[in-house]
Structure 1
């Protein structure tokens, strides 16, 4: 057992931040209690099956509360990288330099690289284990909600149900370490890391569905075009006879600018259809990502984040070596 015990700077790091670790354990336990309890309540009344093969909740109260709890849990998991990055940059790294307490570790026959490595490995392990536990809790609740297949593309379920959250955490730890070493002021380092990771989240969220080319389904105007089950619609519109995409807002504007017409009712419908015919709009289209794009997108985004984490970690050790040779 003694070989498994934490030693040296690893033990010191865990000892210093044991309250933070217990807070993470408490957050996981609270999430499991709430979501697990709601899942048990919802399971007391099996969900009936509709004639079309879809499920609907038998107890609206249990399903509504479970959905509400999952929304908050997923939102918290989505913000977890920002919190972890800010903690690593501030209390874990910058405060050590701001207060000068890092010198105590360096006088105990511990090299600067070993000191930093211990802090990064400890924080990374704690963050990944917390995320793994929360992912398990989220999946417990998610499995009890019928008709939620299309919601997995939303930001919070996308992160909570896949592997990309773990890559975000690795990037957050590395970026936090680099910022903490560069700034060495607790609050400023925390704010800077939060902003940096927030930008990463926003940029990846904006371009996530451009990693893979979309598929397109077409049909006559007025036909019922549907995205395949478990797919994500990204765009819809009209096509001309030549196959070019037509912005139907042109015709909407024409109807709205015509005096005496109220929307597309009555004569407005005729004017709208005539406008479409004048511009040669003959069919409609839907752009979508099929279900098979979910995991490849996760892998591509995770690869980007792991590259960012590797670069930031390398830069952090280079900065450390330059300042504490």
Structure 2
């Protein structure tokens, strides 16, 4: 009889590859856990510094710590992309460890799925904790000192769009690693691609949802919660007077300001606070769609190269 040679148990086990990924990249996972822990500690410290020792219900007057946390979270997608393009995919292709795994009853598609699924779960869990805590600290204040929802770091860290960008970084990193097949090349290209997508969508963010146009005294007294896209005056013929506006405290003073300026009305094109969640969901949907396309492209490229 001819003895059957079976692949190692950890590779025949459907969960064996997952544990293999966890073991190989345990240092990165510990670093991510430390980042999340540091973020939680920093946000809690920010809340305590802002509210003092008097307890809940006091307005938050100092959001420096919150802004710092938001800026730090904003840097996560390119860092994740660099890791995915360099260490997660690029280094294993460059060193030949990926090809070795494919010869041990592990299909290329299964190998890539494990490489993406394990960090995706860890990133989703960590980002969910950071986002919820960030929103709690941000919305705890009752004073007008809180940063606006439309500010770049607050918009990113306070909603699902932050997680969407992190997952996009992971997907683009995997695709870059497969394209470049080198650690440094995959790292650099993945970071650049992620930053480029983020910069493009931030530039056109105000166009992702229809704006609201206010006129008259309402336009002159815009609330701080509104994201101002365009503000100005118009003549009786409808011609805009750029660079001028009336921001009065009373309707009578507002009307006098219009006469002084030779204007017939004031206008403001804004995103009110009610547009926050629509903008979050639309941008998140676009980013997740790009992430899905990157994943499909990565699997297609891997299938072609492994054939």
The equivalent of 1:199 in structure 2 is 196
Partner of 2:227: 232
Q: SS state of the match for residue 210, structure 2?
A: coil
In structure 1, the residue matched to 2:31 is 23
1:304 lines up with 2:286 in the alignment: yes
Q: Mark the CA change 1:56 to 1:171 in structure 2 (over 3 Å): closer, same or farther.
A: closer
Change over 3 Å in CA distance of 1:150–1:73 after alignment to 2: closer
Map Cα deviations across residues 43-82 of structure 1 (whole Å, 9 max, x no partner): 523688xxxxxx755xxxxx43xx2221121111112111
Q: What stretches of structure 2 of length at least 5 have no aligned partner?
A: 1-12, 245-257
Cα distance in 2 for partners of 1:47, 1:136 equals 18
Residue equivalent to 1:81: 77
- Give the alignment partner of residue 134 of structure 1, picking from 122, 130, 133: 130
Give the distance between the partners of 2:280 and 2:168, measured in 1 at CA. Answer: 15
Give SS of 1:108's match.
Answer: coil
Show the counterpart of 2:249.
Answer: none
**In the alignment, structure 1 residue 44 sits paired with structure 2 residue 41:** no
RMSD (CA atoms):
2.6
Cα separation, 1, equivalents of 2:147 and 2:29: 35
Q: In the aligned structure 2, how far is the partner of 1:202 from the partner of 1:101?
A: 35
Is residue 2:239 matched to residue 1:244?
Answer: yes
Structure-1-length-normalised TM-score: 0.79
Using the TM superposition, give the Cα deviation of residue 322 of structure 1 relative to its aligned residue in structure 2, in angstroms: 0.7
Counterpart of 2:205 in structure 1 is 208
Measure, in 2, the Cα distance between the counterparts of 1:164 and 1:68: 22
CA distance in 2, matches of 1:149, 1:227: 17
Compared with structure 1, are the counterparts of its residues 15 and 6 closer, same or farther at alpha carbon in structure 2 (3 Å cutoff)? Answer: farther
Maintained 8 Å contact 1:150/1:230: no
Tell me whether 228-237 or 200-209 shows the greater mean CA deviation: 228-237
User: Which structure 2 residues correspond to residues 221-300 of structure 1 after superposition, within 5 A?
Assistant: 225-228=220-223, 230-248=225-243, 276-277=261-262, 281-300=263-282
Q: Which of 2, 18, 21 lines up with 1:13 in the alignment?
A: 21
Does the 8 Å contact 2:81/2:172 carry over to 1?
Answer: yes
- In structure 1, which of residues 124, 129, 132 is the aligned counterpart of residue 120 of structure 2? 124
Q: 1:126 to 1:56 in 2, by over 3 A?
A: closer
Partner of 1:188: 185
What are the Cα deviations for residues 249-298 of structure 1, in whole angstroms up to 9, with x where unaligned? 7xxxxxxxxxxxxxxxxxxxxxxx99954xxx332222211222111111
TM value normalised by structure 2 = 0.83
Partner of residue 93, structure 1: 89
Aligned counterpart in structure 1 of residue 102 of structure 2, from 106, 125, 130: 106
> Equivalent residue for 2:9?
none
Cα distance in 1 for partners of 2:203, 2:85 equals 26
Is the contact between residue 230 and residue 291 of structure 1 (CA under 8 Å) also seen in structure 2?
Answer: yes
